[in-house]
Amino acid sequence: MSNLLTTLVAVLFFPGLSFILTYALWCQWVSRKAAARLQNRQGPLHTGWQGILQPLADFVKLLVNEDITPAAADKPVFNYSPIAVFAIPLAATFLIPIQSLTNLRGWEPIASFEGDLIIVLFLMSVVILAVFLGGWSSGNVFGAVGATRAALMMLAYEIPLSLVVVGPAILAGSLQISEIVDWQVASVNAFLRAPDIQGLAVAAVLFIGVVIYLICLLAELELRPFDISEAETEIVHGWQVEYSGKKLALLNAGHDVKMVLAAALMTSLFLGGPAGPILPPFAWFILKTTFCVLVLTNLSVLFARFRIDQMVAGAWKYLVPLAVLQVMAVVALSGVI
């Protein structure tokens, strides 16, 4: 009975649904505030302390706005793809280890199985399919152009992304995210006890992986250098152009949840997951993922938008070979041959 209660609390409240959604709003606030300060603006100020409730206010405002479905749109696909854009990354975040409810120093994902890393990657690319369908079915020229750009971008960044993610999996000898976290904790502890050249080499190779992963995440999240599919200045808002009201609210919330998922996956695969001294795991999770969000925001403020051909060519000419080399170096270092 108490086990059932624990499961319910974990799924619905902490570290499940409520926590992830609240945390997504927090990430949006951090991202907007940091971008504003980097651009010498103030960012949100009026709703709550330093405008911390602004993302929630925006969500509620969009929810009660009038919702228009254009006459030319393919109605079922157009109406229901925002639900997929929102629900899929939210479900994938349940596979990331955050905090155990029964053990203050422990962590485990709410759902977990062998190979969940592959499922997370698969779900991340299925979101793009929903994006493509949503933009394509809107019956708008800008929407269709944005949708094809999103699909083309996915073909470019998905490969380096999935290749670098395989790196830590090979080193850990498992495709389960929580076991990769365990491997990182164990190997960092072993390195701190007896530093050796092997550990430094692994860290250097994985650092290349982090860099490639960050670049791919910028494309995945459609942040500045790769916001080609929504480029306001050329195709108005790309695939989102016809969305309004509750559907736009769902799309925005989905984007925030995707940012949490991306930052959480980066934390779990490269930054040691929710592990750390003194503080409980969820505090470390928040610190590390907020750090990832800040890095992503900083990069997106720093760069100007690439053209679609520059982005695709860059990904295939530089990122893919680098990612393959990284995997080969990881295989050589892990000594499984």
Partner 1 sequence: MLRDQSLLVGLSGFTIIMGLTILVGIIIFAFGNELAPKSPDTDGKLAPYACGESIPPKKVRLNVENFFIYAVYFMIFDVLGFVLATTVGKPVNMLLPLFYAGVSLISIVVLTATWRQ
Residues 197-256 binding partner 1 (CB under 8 A) are 236, 241-242, 245-247, 249-250, 253
Q: What is the smallest separation between the CB atom of 91 and partner 1, expressed in angstroms?
A: 4
Q: Which is nearer to partner 1, 158 or 300 (CB)?
A: 158
Q: Which is nearer to partner 1, 36 or 152 (CB)?
A: 152
Interface with partner 1: number of residues (CB under 8 A): 92
Positions in 256-285 near partner 1 (CB under 8 A): 275
Least Cα distance to 276 among 267, 175, 292, 262 occurs for 267
Amino acid at 330: V
Which residue is associated with the tokens 């108490």?
2
**Among residues 36, 126, 170, 301, the one that binds partner 1 under rule CB under 8 A:** 170
Q: What is the smallest separation between the CB atom of 226 and partner 1, expressed in angstroms?
A: 16
Q: How far apart (Å, rounded) are the C-alpha atoms in residues 61 and 256?
A: 16
- Write the binding mask 301 to 320 for partner 1: x where contact by CB under 8 A, - elsewhere: -----------x---xx--x
**Among residues 22, 42, 48, 111, the one that binds partner 1 under rule CB under 8 A:** 111
Q: What b/e sequence results for 200-234 when a residue is b if at least 16 CB atoms lie within 10 Å of its CB, and e otherwise?
A: eebeebbebbbebbbbbbbbbbbbbbbbbbbbeee
Regarding 97 and contact with partner 1 (CB under 8 A), the answer is yes
Positions in 37-66 near partner 1 (CB under 8 A): 63-66
Amino acid at 62: L
Q: What is the smallest separation between the CB atom of 331 and partner 1, expressed in angstroms?
A: 6
Q: How far apart (Å, rounded) are the C-alpha atoms in residues 87 and 67?
A: 20
Regarding 7 and contact with partner 1 (CB under 8 A), the answer is yes
Regarding 187 and contact with partner 1 (CB under 8 A), the answer is no
Q: What is the smallest separation between the CB atom of 218 and partner 1, expressed in angstroms?
A: 19
**E strand or H helix at 149:** helix 141-172
Taking the CA atoms of 205, 206, 207 and 210 in sequence, report the sign of the dihedral they define. Answer: positive
Regarding 132 and contact with partner 1 (CB under 8 A), the answer is no
- Kindly report the backbone phi and psi dihedral angles of residue 258, in degrees, each rounded to the nearest multiple of 5, phi listed first: -65, -35
